[in-house]
Amino acid sequence: MENAKILIADDDQDIRESLQALLEYQQYTVVTAANREEGMKKIKTEKPDLIILDVMMTTWQDGFEMARELKDDPEFKKTPILMLTGIKDQTGIDFKSTAGDPTWCPVDGFLEKPVERAVLLAEVQRLLSEKT
């Protein structure tokens, strides 16, 4: 999807800036948020075509809660969500196996940090193409 708008919600400024640079180089419009509250506000005003979420922001489950809230909202239910997280390194738990579970982790894609540039871009493209 050409000129798609992507929102990145991650508490790590370096991650936000590097993802923003990578995605803007690919001609995407990028909006960023540093936490769940800011992310939810920007999602409602910016109406992104894709949302990239970290799991652990202000609390360890912010990304999971955001994903559930968005999938329960009729306006954003069909907006694809890519969870990009290093939670496995932090907790030792492989949450990737729960990706797509409508109760626990209702996301459309799940990648572990660090992620290769080509892998991330391929997943972004896949999710955006499925939306159309």
Name the percent of the chain lying above pLDDT 90.
70
Q: Which domain CATH number covers 24? A: 3.40.50.2300
- Pick left, alpha or beta for residue 68 (phi over 0 → left; psi -120 to 50 → alpha; otherwise beta): alpha
57-84 per-position pLDDT tens digit: 888 788 989 999 999 999 999 999 999 9
Q: What domain count does the chain have?
A: 1
Residue 54 to residue 40: CA distance in whole angstroms: 13
pLDDT per residue over 81-122, tens digit each?
A: 999 988 544 444 445 455 555 556 789 999 999 999 999 999
The strand pairing partners of 30, in sequence order, are 6
- Calculate the average pLDDT of the chain: 88
Specify the amino acid at residue 1.
M
- pTM across the whole model: 0.89
93: containing domain: 5-131
Rounded Cα gap, residues 50 and 32, in angstroms: 12
